[in-house]
Amino acid sequence: MPSHTLKDKVVVIGGASRNLGSLIAREVAADGANVVVHYNAPSSKEGAEQTAEAVKAAGGDAVVHEADLTKVSEVEGLFEVAEGAFGKVDCVVNTAGMVIKKPMAEVTEAEYDRMFAVNSKAAYFMMQQAARRVEDGGKIITIVTSLLAAYTGLYSVYAGSKAPVEHFTRALSKELFGRNVSVNNIAPGPMDTGFFYPAETDDSIAYHKSSAMNGELTKIEDIVPYVKFLLTDGWWLNGQTLFVNGGYTTR
């Protein structure tokens, strides 16, 4: 039976320069993990470096790497950096994503292609590389969205591009039977971060808040304990999507 601890584990985090990914990096480091801090563009480099410094201050080691996760070669490069720096990969947590909110009638082909590249293709090939490279007993987690359980308009291409990840997760979790590797998703409610607000209005923000317990948006601090649980004592959960959202949606 593998040890249910993060001590000396190597965790690759997609989208770790800010918000949820950054907090996950700092929290797993406090439990003894080493972290590969991914960021997607030069504009995020400073945040990624700050995350890496916070990881080291918390007691872990960190390496920073830029990669466009919509390009398979760069996904492969991210994992090669992880193995080059630490000799192995134990866990993968992919928080990377992109949101567009607009009526289906107004979505352009370019927007559709970009959303599926970021939310679906990148997730697929992150999971593929994780499947090839994680140690036996490893953990693979992808952040999706609670809108997968919502009956709503305006998010067709956002939620629609996240939806395939549930199928990827079920398939991969089954394919990895025999290696004690668990594969799961976490589906947060609308999170109180800069990722959420640009697509919303004052009225829609108020509506989202009213739809969850206590009239609040999900906070990144609400999600991290579930990530850590799946990386440790929650190892027996497999092929699942956890809706962590204060009752915003249920399924």
Q: Which domains does the chain have, with CATH numbers?
A: 10-244 (3.40.50.720)
For 65-109, write each residue's pLDDT tens digit.
999 999 999 999 999 999 999 999 999 999 999 999 999 999 999
- The pTM of the full predicted model, rounded to 2 decimals, is 0.96
* Per-residue model confidence (pLDDT) at position 3: 57
43-52 average pLDDT score: 98
For 127-166, write each residue's pLDDT tens digit.
999 999 999 999 999 999 999 999 999 999 999 999 999 9
Indicate which residues carry an active-site annotation.
Answer: 158
Q: Which of 201, 228, 206, 202 is nearest to 217 (CA)?
A: 206
